[in-house]
């Protein structure tokens, strides 16, 4: 009896496709972001660049071969922001405006206008030109952590709004404000589609659920409004809780080691300090970040059906000895084979994939079987 080596698949019956989403919880503590690997502003896991446009955060000293990139952090403001009109010399003003425009263009695209073509970040999902977020910090997470995307409804970031010396406590009261995408869901409720993929809103639960930022899920980018730390009633009558006051100046940033009693509010820091100095101040105020990443696995499943009258013999040279089948004691015994491997071939007879079974399966003319082979991409 000849050995039958191939059985063709029946289209629509033996082959199907599936899509599976795997999620992993990723908690990032503030100690990794600030202070674990050296003194503040001199941490060995924080990499600053000569261009000064952003800094990179690693989970270990960045010169080590075992270090993993966690995220990049920067800031920027729109050219129509009050900061761009500030008089005097503004460090890196063009770079700050360019950083805002770069991320806005990448994530939101263009309006189509010839005068102001790049869309601005907004505190809603309508992209209707109302409620602009003109000054913001941007955290761009590593693809190593976010995988294919951030799971909707899972992102939160806890930020300290206390004094410089005690960013997470205001006396005996917690000064932590948590921003979370509480209205977003996997079913795309509470999200908007834009050029950079889908994005949701980050709400501040301690401030009547006001929107204080955006999270772009596929891009893995969080945009945090500077208004999280705004408390200066002299600027537009804003009275929302923010960093506490020390005399007449809020303590968002302490820009100079040589002047430890000199502080800046968030507006002054973004306008008059370098990008690195202001992002250092933000790192000083990150208590933790948490989200679930998403890995999308596309699978093709092949149902390899073996009827009772097929694959009962083996082409393995050890299956026979001389002219006799070694697994048969007499000529009347049923043939027996043991399935250990399944090969998938193309129409030209070329082997494309091999599946190994965890243990041999006995096959004889009294049984049939279906072996499920899954290829993940």
Q: Tens of pLDDT along 231-252? A: 543 333 344 445 544 444 578 9
Count the residues in the chain. 377
Contact in structure between 260 and 252 (CB atoms under 8 Å): no
Q: Which residues of 255-270 are buried (b: 16+ CB within 10 A; e: fewer)?
A: beeeeeeebbbbbbbb
Confidence grade of residue 114 (pLDDT, cut at 50, 70, 90): low
* Candidate from 15-19, 240-244, 270-274, 335-339 with smallest mean pLDDT: 240-244
Secondary structure (3-state) at 201: strand
Q: How far apart are CA 182 and CA 195, in angstroms?
A: 22
Is 60 exceeded by the pLDDT of residue 321? yes
Secondary structure (3-state) at 10: coil
The token pair at 163 is 């004094």
Any bridge partners for residue 297, and if so which? 20
As a whole number of Å, the CA-based R_g of the chain is 30
Instruction: Return the pLDDT at 240.
Output: 42
What backbone torsions phi and psi does residue 170 show, to the nearest 5 degrees? -115, 85
HSE, CB side, 13 Å, CA atoms: give it for residue 334. 13
More confident residue, 236 or 372: 372
pLDDT in tens, 210-222: 999 999 999 999 9
Is 60 exceeded by the pLDDT of residue 205? yes
Query: Cα 297 to chain center, whole Å?
Result: 16
Confidence grade of residue 333 (pLDDT, cut at 50, 70, 90): confident
Confidence grade of residue 21 (pLDDT, cut at 50, 70, 90): very high
Burial environment of residue 128 by CB neighbours within 10 A (0 to 12, 13 to 18, 19 or more): exposed
The token pair at 34 is 């600030």
**If you ran DSSP here, which 8-state letter would residue 53 be given?**
S
User: Hunting for tokens 């306008």 — which residue is that?
Assistant: 271
Is 90 exceeded by the pLDDT of residue 327? no
Locate the domains of the chain by residue range: 21-295, 307-376
User: Hunting for tokens 């050890």 — which residue is that?
Assistant: 318
């Amino acid at each position: 009896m000849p050995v039958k080596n191939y059985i063709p698949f029946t289209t629509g019956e033996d082959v199907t496709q599936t899509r599976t989403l795997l999620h992993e919880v990723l908690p990032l503590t503030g100690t990794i972001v600030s202070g674990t690997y050296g003194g503040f502003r001199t941490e060995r896991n924080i990499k600053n660049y000569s261009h000064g446009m952003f800094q990179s955060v690693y989970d270990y000293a960045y010169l080590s071969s075992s270090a993993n990139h966690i995220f990049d952090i920067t800031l920027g403001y729109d050219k129509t922001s009050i900061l761009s009109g500030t008089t005097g010399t503004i460090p890196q003003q063009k770079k700050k405006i360019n950083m805002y425009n770069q991320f806005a263009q990448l994530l939101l695209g263009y309006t189509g206008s010839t005068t102001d073509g790049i869309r601005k970040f907004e505190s809603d999902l309508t992209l209707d030109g109302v409620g602009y977020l003109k000054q913001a910090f941007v955290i761009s997470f590593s693809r190593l952590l976010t995988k294919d995307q951030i799971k909707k409804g899972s992102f939160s970031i806890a930020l300290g709004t206390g004094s410089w010396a005690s960013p997470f406590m205001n006396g005996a009261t917690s000064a932590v404000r948590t921003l979370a995408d509480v209205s977003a869901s996997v079913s795309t409720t509470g999200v908007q589609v834009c050029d950079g993929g889908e994005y949701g809103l980050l709400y501040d639960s301690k401030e009547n659920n006001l929107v204080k930022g955006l999270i772009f899920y596929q891009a893995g980018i969080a945009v945090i409004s500077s208004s999280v730390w705004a408390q200066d009633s002299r600027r537009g009558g804003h009275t929302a809780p923010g960093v506490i006051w020390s005399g007449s100046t809020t303590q968002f940033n302490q820009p100079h080691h040589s002047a430890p009693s000199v502080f800046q509010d968030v507006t002054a820091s973004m306008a008059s300090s370098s990008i690195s100095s202001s992002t250092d101040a933000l790192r000083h105020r990150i208590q933790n970040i948490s989200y679930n990443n998403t890995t999308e696995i596309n699978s093709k499943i092949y149902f390899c059906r073996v009827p009772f009258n097929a694959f009962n013999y083996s082409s393995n040279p050890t299956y026979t000895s001389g002219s006799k089948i070694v697994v048969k004691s007499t000529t009347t015994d049923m043939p027996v084979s043991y399935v250990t491997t399944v090969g998938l071939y193309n129409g030209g007879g070329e082997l494309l994939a091999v599946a190994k079974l965890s243990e041999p399966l006995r096959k004889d003319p009294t049984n049939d079987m279906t072996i499920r082979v899954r290829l993940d991409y």
